[in-house]
Amino acid sequence: MSILQKYILREWFWTALAVSILLIVVLLGAYLGDILKDIAGGKMPAGLIGKQLLLHMPEALCNILPLAGFVAVMWGLGRIYRDQEMAVMRSSGFGWTNLLKPLFALLIPLAALLLMLGLFIAPKTALMAQEQLEEAFRSAAVWGLQGGKFHVLKQGELIIYAESIEEDGSTLRNIFIKQRQEEREQVWVSGTGRYWMDSATGDRYLVLENGKVTDLAPGRLDVRELSFARNDLRLPEPEFRKRAKAKINAVASLELFYEGSAESVAELQWRLSPAITVIILGLLAVPLAHSEPREGRGIRIVLSILVYLFYANLLY
């Protein structure tokens, strides 16, 4: 590889790295917003934010690396054209074919990385994230219940308060629960309770012991009071169970290959698409970045955005 080719490759590499870091921050910020929304709705434990973000990283890289490679080639060549460096290179015999070696030196490693991420690493981390959620929901402390704090679930229809939680993470003391069902409200009070998850169904419960429940209709003189030795209160369904059927992204690629169903083939093709996309967009970026000495950069940038949006819409 000549000095000029190494110079262009270095320009593309650092641009791709900078764009990747920026897009990772943006995309993980979007993931964080979704996670916080699930936590607020009682669908995800608050103690798993960092781990869940880390496990989403391979999926995020599959989404951003093709765009980062495309922008790197566009931006790097655009700067070379703008600074008249390409004119000097051409005068020394540097032609279009000389761009292929640094171009593929950038795109082929990116494509190989995307194949590893899409076929092996991302499905594995997706499975780990799902298993982590399932395991976390077996513990009241990890799920998000904290002693001395009110927890509002189901958009305000369920409010849970426990004065303290024992070290085992499942035994609760001095529990107060307010639940709204249609036009009636129930207030549950219990000295002790246990958090547990049914291993067969995945349902989560608070088992209240030796307590009292008051059932009333707000605004009416209709109040019922009942004492109980034990009462199982079902908690909201966790997010990982609601999305169980959509978790094909957590299935190993080899299993999808042997299964051979239309859904499995589509998922395999989707995992291969980032590696193919980075090659196609990288090759398209070379002619799109070409500009005349006095031509503005705005037209090329707008055109490249339209090309990327068109290609992305074809995929989605």
The predicted-structure confidence for 90-140, as pLDDT tens digits, reads as follows 888 888 889 999 999 999 999 999 999 999 999 999 999 888 877 766 655
Task: Map out the domains of the chain as residue ranges.
Answer: 3-137+246-315, 140-237
Give the per-residue pLDDT at 57. 93
For the CA atoms of 169, 170, 176, 181, the dihedral, rounded to the nearest 10 degrees, stands at: 120
- In the sheet with 184-197, reading across from the earlier edge strand, the strands are 149-153, 158-165, 171-181, 184-197, 204-216, 223-234
pLDDT above 80: residue 143: no
CA distance 196 to 180: 22
- Whether 142 has a pLDDT exceeding 70, the answer reads no
Query: Model confidence over 247-297: pLDDT tens digits?
Result: 788 888 999 989 888 999 999 999 999 999 999 999 999 988 887 766 666
Rounded CA gap, 77 and 295, in Å? 14
Tell me how far apart the alpha carbons of residues 102 and 173 are, in angstroms, rounded to a whole number.
Answer: 66
Residues 49 and 32: beta-carbon distance below 8 Å: yes
What is the pLDDT confidence band of residue 36, given thresholds at 50, 70 and 90? Answer: confident
pTM of the entire structure? 0.71
pLDDT at residue 243 tops 50: no
Runs of H (alpha helix) within 94-230 = 100-116, 122-136, 140-143
How far apart (Å, rounded) are the C-alpha atoms in residues 158 and 138? 19
Torsion angles phi and psi, residue 135, rounded to 5: -70, -40
Q: What radius of gyration, in Å, describes the C-alpha atoms of the chain?
A: 28
d(CA 231, CA 190): 10
What value does the mean pLDDT of the chain take? 84
